[in-house]
Each structure stands twice: as structure tokens, then as C-alpha cells.
Amino acid sequence: MRWTIKAKPEQNDIDTLADELGVDDLVAQLLIQRGIDSYEKAKKFFRPQLSDLHDPFLMKDMDLAVERIEIAIANNENILVYGDYDVDGTTSVALVSSYLLRYYPNVATYIPDRYDEGYGVSYKGIDFAEDNGFSLIIALDCGVKAIDKVAYAKEKNVDFIICDHHRPGDKLPEAVAVLDPKREDCEYPFDELCGCGVGFKLIQALGSRKGETTEDFWPYLDLVATAIGADIVPITGENRALAYFGLQVINTNPRTGFKAIINQVKKSVLTITDVVFIIAPRINAAGRMEHGQHAVNLLTEGNMEQAQKFAAEIEKYNIDRRSLDQEITQEALAQIQENEEEERFTSVVYKESWHKGVIGIVASRLTDTYYRPTLVFTKSGDKLAASARSVKGFDVYNALKGCADCIEQFGGHKYAAGLTLLEEQYEAFKRQFEKVVSETIDPALLTPEITVDAKLEVKDITPKLMRILNQFAPFGPGNMTPVFLCEGLTDTGYAKGVGQEGAHLKFAVTQNGYGPVGGIGFNMGDKLSSVISRKPFDAVFSIDENEWQGNISLQLKLKDLR
């Protein structure tokens, strides 16, 4: 791994902020590295307020969206709330539909079938709307590229409001309103909202016309925080406030569906990491293994007994998903290993029987293992469908643009995308993708990087520092958990491998007479020999609280050592 130490800010700036806030130099340094260089910014960072949220009407077309929904309600029209089958899409649909149903009954939800309809707005969904008398579709977490589909709906007298956060193409669909902070002509102050975040701004705008205040939207923030975590958007700016209060809702008064999931996993306080690894995979499993509508049903259910039944079903989907994902990952790794003699910048694998619902997870696992831009293909109807994942610093969406002549359809983000192509194009695409990546990627990006915030000494690892670091949460892109480097550590002699076959490294270290402080390195059991030699070593880690038999102690959560 490459260790990259962030540049230390000017000492004058550190001193000034440390004095203003009454904190030590290390905390001031960590804040400045996050762009927090004044008392005002620090106050907003440590004490987010719902009043900090932006006026939703600053978003382009918001007035048109609100006006069309108000007309639909006045005219007793049927409204279809439509969203993608992943966490961001299903939470968005749960949020907007449950809000509208509070005061208007003619609202239904629609999640496309992952296997029959694929991602985003579908012709089948539009036909469903026409056949069932829906004259307005509110599309969430999708639609910004659905030019032909929106035109098709128009012919059937079905209007569209699009709430999306993906990058638009050169042309926008001819919808009544296109809410997307990534639109070139949108001057909304924060363009990193997730799809559920855009949906939240829509209900905020609708509510403001009825005299509702930001506090009235508190019960919906558990959905928004979950989508923010799952969709890996920056937890900065407006997202920080939404995630911060959303976690409070999850931990104090979550909706019934979340309670049913949390009861199963028996965890008392959830962090954003728990939301990403406990709640999100279960919501996702519905769309991966069966149908995304099951997730919406759980997230909108008010009756605890029924919610527990839904949660039990979804738990079964999640167990099935885990087993499939492990099996396919092994097969995909074997495919890559067969071709290891070729020096490649990409990993592209395909098997027609692979389950489409888990290829995104498999792509992530392969990227973790081989650290190259990765595509996992499977058969989908008469075409091939793929999930793409990238390495830090490389834009896979742009790389796919460079292969557009081999692709039927694609969309996504810098680090994750999806595409479909004809089977006869597969080999040509594979060659083209390798060519584009090899010509555009900086080879250094093919070695995983650990970014270190600051050097630290064992004597400075104190409960007081931990209390302050805990206030930096929620963590995520743009505000990652601080990572430190300690040099010249010596094991106390108790280092050992723990877990199955000694997979994990457990140790305790001292430095210059200070310590000991314990540590754990997950899946780093192979580093044991480096530690027990009693020779000094350097370690990169975050600081964690370890609870054992009611006692809490600080420990180093190891990322790498030399």
C-alpha cells in the first residue's frame, strides 16, 4: 500500500484556530484539513442545525414541480411515485409516497423489476401508469437520461417530474420539471445530494407552502441518512446535517420498518457505518433477490407485527444474497487467475448464469482484491449487463464514455456505473475498455493508497482525544475517519493471531516508554511475524473504542504496518 501523508497546514493557521476554539494543535490541524478554518465553520461542523438546510426553491424547476403536484391534488389526479430498486431509490419512494399520503389518498408506488425492466424509468412502468389512470409520475433517483421514455409518456398524456442526482447527458428529458443539482443550469448551493436527498427537498418545498417547518420533516430523516450512507455521497455541507439528524432519528425514534430490522441485529446505537453495513444491505437484498417493492413495503409499514414479517422475509433474501455473492466471487476470481499471465490494467469477467442482483457486490470485491477498474458481466434477456467499480482517483464513468460505440446504454458515477451491450460486442468492448484505461490511468492509482491525516505519538492517544474525534462523526466521503501514523512502535510480547486460523492480528504496543495501547488488524494475521520480532515498526491506524465485559478501552484499528 502507498502511504500518503496529507500536507500539514501552516503553523500560524493551526495556532489561530486552536486559540479560537480552545483545542490542541492536532484537532485544529484535522479541522483545517477538512476545510474548517474558522470558528463559524467549526460551529456548523460540530453543531449542525436543521436551520442550516438550503431553501429548496433554489433548485432549478422546484417551483414547477410543486405547482404540478398541487394541480394534481386539486384535480384529484392519480400520482405514481416511481424509483429505482436500490437503497437510494426505495428510500426515496418510501419518503415521498408516505409524505403525500399523509394528506392525499390517490398515491401509489412503483419499483421496476431489476430483471424484467432493468435500471431506471421503463416503458413497462409508463404502460402501467397509463393502464391504471395515473397522469403524473414522480421519478426518484432516476430519469435524468430518460429522454425517449419521457417522450413516450407524453404521448400517453402522462406527465413526469424527475428528481435525480446523476450526471445529466447533453440533453434533458422534456419533463414538467427536472430536479437535479448536477444540472449545468442549476445554481443550488450543494450538488452532492443523493436521490433521497432530492426527494427530501421536494417534500420540504411542498410542506413550506402549507406552513410546515424543517422540524416537521424530522420523521423522514432516517430514510435520508440511510440513503446518504448507502449511496456513498460526501457527508459534507447539507448532507452532514441530514445524516447527523437522520442518525438521531434512527437511534431514538426510527420508523417501524427500521425498528424491525434493528431488533433482528440487536445493536443499541447505530453509526453511519452500521447503517451502511447492517440496514442498507438488507434493504438492497429485496431488489437483488426478489423485488424492490418489498423494501418499500417494509419502510412504509406502520404495524410492528406486519413489519417484523416483512423484515424476516428480507433477512432471508439477505442470507441468500450473501451465499450467492460468495459463490460468484470465487468463480470470478478463478477467471481472473486463469489470465494472470497477461499484464492488464482492468478486470473484466463474464458468465451468463451469474445472478444479476449481486454482480455489483462482486465487482466491489474484485476491485478490493486486484485493485483495478473492474466490470462483472452477466446475461440479461438478450443482452449482457454489467456493474462497474473503480479505484480511488479514476473516473470509470468517463472511461465508459470512451467505449460508447460498443455499449447500448450506460449510466452512473465516477466510481460505480452500470451498462448493457449486445453479446457480440463483448470482446470488442473488453479490448476497448482495457485500451482506454491503460492510456488514461496513472499507474500509481493501481496500488491502494492510505491517506494519513497526521503523525501521532502513543502518549497523545487519550480518552479526551477520542471524545473530540467522536464529535467529528458522522464519517464518510469528504470527512473520513481520521487516520494516524505512529513510528517506532514495539510490541509488548503479547501479539498473536486470533479468529479462524489466526486471520486477525491482535497486539499491544509501547513507544518511548508510553503505553501499552492495544490494537487489532482485521485480516492481517500474516503480519504477525513483523510484530513479534520485537523490532520497532511503523503503523497506520484509526483510533477505536473497544468494549469488553463492560469496560471500554482505546485501541488502534490497524490499516497497515511496516
Is the distance from CB of 193 to CB of 235 less than 8 angstroms?
no
Cα atoms found within 13 Å of the Cα of residue 148, Cβ hemisphere only: 4
Cell of 26: 492536532
Enter the pTM of the model.
0.90
- Region of 371 on the Ramachandran plot (φ > 0 left; ψ -120 to 50 alpha; else beta): left
Q: Phi and psi of 442, rounded to 5°?
A: -75, 120
Q: Which residue has the cell 449482457?
A: 384
- Residue 8 burial class via C-beta count within 10 angstroms: exposed 0-12, middle 13-18, buried 19 and up: middle
Distance between CA 253 and CA 221 in Å, rounded?
Answer: 11
Distance between CA 56 and CA 17 in Å, rounded?
Answer: 33
Cα atoms found within 13 Å of the Cα of residue 343, Cβ hemisphere only: 3
- Angle in degrees, 0-180, between the axes of helices 293-300 and 304-338, rounded to the nearest 10: 140
> Can you give the three-state secondary structure of 133-163, one letter per residue?
CEEEEEEECCCCCCHHHHHHHHHCCCEEEEE
Cell of 149: 421514455
pLDDT of residue 413: 80
Task: Locate all alpha helices (DSSP H) within 441-478, ordered by sequence.
Answer: 463-470
| 66 to 146, 161, 329: CA distances (angstroms) | 21, 9, 45
| 162 to 91, 165, 339, 407, 416: CA distances (angstroms) | 16, 10, 44, 25, 21
Contacts for 411 with CB less than 8 Å, ≥ 6 apart: 119, 120, 145, 166, 417, 418, 419
Q: Which domains does the chain have, with CATH numbers?
A: 2-47+450-561 (2.40.50.460), 56-313 (3.90.1640.30), 342-446 (3.10.310.30)
Closest CA to 430 of 472, 395, 491, 386: 386
Distance between CA 82 and CA 111 in Å, rounded?
Answer: 6
Tens digit of each residue's pLDDT, the chain (562 residues)? 899 999 999 999 999 999 999 999 999 999 999 999 999 999 999 999 998 899 999 999 999 999 999 999 999 999 999 999 999 999 999 999 999 999 999 999 999 998 888 888 999 999 999 999 999 999 999 999 999 999 999 999 999 999 999 989 899 999 999 999 999 999 999 999 999 999 999 999 999 999 999 889 999 999 999 999 998 899 999 999 999 999 999 999 999 999 999 998 878 789 999 999 999 999 999 988 889 999 999 999 999 999 999 999 999 999 999 999 999 999 999 999 887 767 899 999 999 999 988 999 999 999 999 999 999 999 988 899 999 999 999 999 999 999 999 999 888 788 889 999 999 999 999 999 999 999 999 999 999 999 999 999 999 999 999 999 999 999 998 999 999 999 999 999 889 999 998 999 999 999 999 889 999 999 999 999 888 877 899 999 999 988 777 788 899 999 999 9
The residue type of 204 is Q
Running DSSP on this structure, what letter comes out for residue 197?
A: H
Task: Locate all alpha helices (DSSP H) within 253-358, ordered by sequence.
Answer: 256-265, 272-274, 280-285, 293-300, 304-338
pLDDT of residue 341: 66
Distance between CA 481 and CA 472 in Å, rounded?
Answer: 8
Distance between CA 121 and CA 143 in Å, rounded?
Answer: 6
Q: Which long-range contacts (CB under 8 A, 24 or more apart) does 556-560 make?
A: 556/461, 556/486, 556/509, 556/517, 556/518, 556/519, 556/520, 557/519, 557/520, 557/521, 557/522, 558/505, 558/519, 558/520, 558/521, 558/522, 558/524, 559/1, 559/450, 559/483, 559/521, 560/1, 560/3, 560/450
